[in-house]
Amino acid sequence: MTAFAINPPETPSIAIEGDKKRFPVRRIFCVGRNYAAHAREMGADPDREPPFIFMKPADAVCDDGGTIPYPPLTNDLHHEIELVIALSKGGSNISEEEALGHVWGYGVGLDMTRRDLQAEAKKKGRPWDWGKGFDHSAICAALRPIVDNGHPESGRIWLNVNDVHRQEGDLGDQIWKPAEIIAFCSRSVRLEPGDLIMTGTPEGVGAVVEGDRLVGGIDGIGEINVTIGNQQA
């Protein structure tokens, strides 16, 4: 046993549908601009620039079903509804053919974004971390293991805010499919069990304010709901 100078931090985790056990989270990879219509609404040309990867810290994850605080430093907190992939098996240079064999299950997630900080970072050529990697920025509904449902190839993905329809798309419109994303990431780093991948958001992203109630879902995968609380001190 390794002796630590302070108590080691708890392992971040998310709930599993119908199970008391939780899924331990090692890292969170995120795909940027993986739906053409969303790439265009962000001012990019999906025909000229492929999707790309950024990250959030593992302890940005939190369960859905409750209230998350409105984060500090922003006046433009955006929702991004996304399919989440949870890996049970690691590896380097995973082929696209083998990639789905590394998947433990799938879930519905919200990649919460401090859009004003992200926009400033883009303008100044700085990293996106402060816009993307804050506390409670990776909200995940309970994961579902693939034993029941297989691997989704299509399915409606949507989000309502206060019962008003905001985001709408289909998993079939993803530019990079889950197998391609896993293969791509594994060529850059060795993937490990517990890694999550948030696979990008369809069009219709927008701001939320204190008191807003977000409800979204992906056909065949599940639903997510969360309320935005007061701004953190």
Could you tell me the two tokens for 99? 């990639």
Residues in the chain: 233
Instruction: Label residue 72 exposed, middle or buried (CB < 10 Å: 0-12, 13-18, 19+).
Output: exposed
What is the closest distance, in whole angstroms, from the C-beta atom of residue 9 to Mn ion in the complex?
Answer: 25
What is the closest distance, in whole angstroms, from the C-beta atom of residue 227 to Mn ion in the complex?
Answer: 20
- Residue 91 or 217 having the CB closest to Mn ion: 217
What is the closest distance, in whole angstroms, from the C-beta atom of residue 21 to Mn ion in the complex?
Answer: 27
- Residue 76 or 98 having the CB closest to Mn ion: 76
Q: How many CB atoms lie within 10 A of CB 231?
A: 15
What is the closest distance, in whole angstroms, from the C-beta atom of residue 64 to Mn ion in the complex?
Answer: 16
For 108, residues 6+ apart whose C-beta sits below 8 A from its C-beta are: 64, 81, 82, 83, 84, 140, 141, 216, 217, 218, 221, 222, 223, 224
What is the closest distance, in whole angstroms, from the C-beta atom of residue 70 to Mn ion in the complex?
Answer: 19
How far apart, in whole angstroms, are the C-alpha atoms of residue 229 and residue 217? 21
**In the complex, residue closest to Mn ion by CB:** 111
Pairing of strands 28-32, 52-56: antiparallel
Chain residues in the site for Mn ion (CB under 5 A): 80, 111, 201
CA angle 229, 137, 111 (to 5 degrees): 115
- Residue 64 or 111 having the CB closest to Mn ion: 111
What is the closest distance, in whole angstroms, from the C-beta atom of residue 205 to Mn ion in the complex?
Answer: 8
- Residue 167 or 201 having the CB closest to Mn ion: 201
- Residue 74 or 91 having the CB closest to Mn ion: 74
Instruction: Please report which helix (H) or strand (E) contains residue 54, including its range.
Output: strand 52-56
- Residue 91 or 167 having the CB closest to Mn ion: 167
For 22, residues 6+ apart whose C-beta sits below 8 A from its C-beta are: 13, 14, 15, 16
